Structures are given as C-alpha cells and as structure tokens.
C-alpha cells in the first residue's frame, strides 16, 4: 500500500475489527477493506452501501453474472488485483458460462456505451451500477498499489460473498448509497481538500497529470509518482484527490450510460 494512513490510520473500531478478523482467519486484512473503512464519513459509508446493493441486492442479474461483469471491468481497466479477485468470486458465486445473450449485450454496452440491443432497461441500469462500483475500486487498487498476500484471496472473497459485501454498521455509520450521494460525499461535502480541488480532480485537471492518469490509465501510477506527491501534500490530501479522480471517471461512465438509456 502506497499510503501509510491506509495501513495504520484507522479509528479504533476499525483497528479492533481488523485485529479480531485477522486473529480468527489467521490472514492479514486485505487492502480493499482497509481503504474503504478509512474515513468512512468521506467515502466508505456511502460507497459500501452502494456496493452491497449493486452486487447482492435485488437485480436482473445473478450474483455470478455481476461478478463476471466486475471481472471484465478489471480486465478492461488493467487492474490485476481486481481481475484475480473477481475471477475467484465468479467461481464462488456461480460461473455464468456459457454467457446468456443478455449478459453478452450488457458487457458490450459497458464496453462501448452504445444503445444495447435486446437488453431490458432495468437490466442495463443494474449493469451500470455494477460497473460504477468497480470502475472506482479498480482505479484505487492501481493507484494505491493493492497487493494480495498469502491466504487473502480465499479468505477475502469468501467473506465478501458470505456477508453480501456488507460490513458491520459500527464501522461505517449510516450511509445511503446512490450515485448522487456518492457524488455529494466525495466531490461536494467538506473534507481536508477543497470541493473545488476535488471537482477538478474528478474532471482530470488537478496536480499536473496525476488526476488525469488516475482517470484514464491508473495502471501507470507508480510508487515513485505517489512518493513525489508526498513531498508537497499530506497523505489525506492524496487520498481525497485520488478518490475524487476515480469517482469522477466512474460517474462520467455511469452518467453517459444513463443518458443513452433515456435517464
């Protein structure tokens, strides 16, 4: 992990949860929960609620089909961490192969955002919700340097599936997850950085080429890039700007898809 705060900067309830979970599973807590449970008031609470709804809430799609969409998103955004994780989750949740025609149409829609053929409106919206989640996580995984340690793949994926992508409420607080609430929490609500800077990052126009690279080619972010940012910015500032850039790119994709579907 390229930001120390994502390893060691959590509030006491999260640290206790990580310690107990690691003690029971005998596996260190993985990078995704550590990132999403860091400062949940800024990002994680809303995002985790949105994730649970998209991945395990009522949907046109089965859990396995949604994991397959997530796997394909990871491959498209060149995120090895997420590609491996969702390949495993596809097997746990139910491999949808051979792909039904509706899933083929949904994958094409998510890839090129052209009007889908033979795909019910609600199914297309559900697919966009899945894509929104993983377009954010893939970019954060690449930018923050997520790594899988021994045992984390098996333990983490089974826990995600078993608990339906939900974490205890005492860790996250109350967060109602919708695309609009995500937009407000990350880009508009008070934080360490100004809303103006975060909105610029969401558009890819902050800190030289950094925000733009997170948006369009997060796999190119290196440890040296983040180390250079630390010379002029705090880790909380880097966290917020990176999240804003990732969320901005994901929301742009989502908003374009909704417009194509007619709202």
255 to each of 59, 122, 140, how far by Cα in Å? 19, 15, 20
Residue 4, in any domain of the structure? no
Residue 21, in any domain of the structure? no
**Predicted local distance difference test score (pLDDT) of residue 175:** 75
Tokens representing 201? 């990052």
Residue 9, in any domain of the structure? no
**Predicted local distance difference test score (pLDDT) of residue 176:** 86
d(CA 219, CA 77): 8
Residue 27, in any domain of the structure? no
**Predicted local distance difference test score (pLDDT) of residue 208:** 97
**Domains: count for the chain:** 1
pLDDT by 10-residue block (mean), the chain, 263 residues: 96 95 93 96 95 97 98 98 98 97 97 94 98 98 97 93 92 88 97 98 98 98 98 98 98 98 87
Range of the domain at 87: 32-261
Residue 65, in any domain of the structure? yes
pTM exceeds 0.75 for this model = yes
Residue 3, in any domain of the structure? no
Q: Computed from CA positions of residues 253, 254, 255, 258, in that sequence, does the dihedral angle turn out positive or negative?
A: positive
**Predicted local distance difference test score (pLDDT) of residue 44:** 95
Residue 83, in any domain of the structure? yes
Residue 145, in any domain of the structure? yes
**Predicted local distance difference test score (pLDDT) of residue 22:** 93
**Predicted local distance difference test score (pLDDT) of residue 173:** 80
Q: Are 151 and 26 in contact (CB under 8 A)?
A: yes
């Amino acid at each position: 992990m390229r930001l120390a705060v994502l390893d060691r900067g959590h509030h006491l309830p999260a640290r206790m949860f990580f310690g107990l979970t690691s003690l029971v599973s005998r596996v260190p807590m993985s990078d995704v929960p550590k990132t999403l449970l860091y400062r949940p008031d800024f990002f994680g609470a809303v995002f985790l609620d949105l994730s649970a709804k998209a991945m395990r809430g009522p949907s046109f799609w089965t859990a396995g089909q949604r994991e397959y969409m997530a796997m394909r998103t990871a491959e498209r955004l060149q995120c090895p961490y997420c590609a491996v994780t969702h390949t495993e989750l596809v097997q746990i949740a139910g491999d949808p192969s051979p792909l039904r025609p509706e899933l083929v149409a949904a994958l094409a829609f998510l890839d090129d955002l052209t009007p889908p053929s033979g795909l019910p409106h609600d199914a297309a919206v559900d697919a966009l919700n899945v894509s929104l989640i993983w377009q954010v996580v893939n970019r954060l995984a690449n930018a923050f340097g997520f790594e899988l340690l021994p045992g984390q793949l098996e333990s983490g994926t089974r826990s995600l599936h078993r608990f339906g992508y939900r974490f205890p409420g005492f860790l996250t607080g109350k967060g109602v997850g919708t695309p609009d609430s995500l937009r407000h929490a990350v880009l508009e609500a008070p934080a360490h950085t100004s809303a103006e800077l975060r909105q610029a990052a969401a558009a890819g126009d902050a800190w030289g080429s950094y925000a733009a690279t997170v948006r369009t080619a997060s796999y190119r972010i290196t440890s040296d890039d983040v180390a250079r940012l630390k010379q002029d910015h705090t880790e909380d500032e880097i966290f917020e700007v990176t999240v804003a850039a990732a969320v901005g790119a994901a929301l742009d994709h989502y908003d374009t898809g909704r417009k194509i579907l007619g709202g």
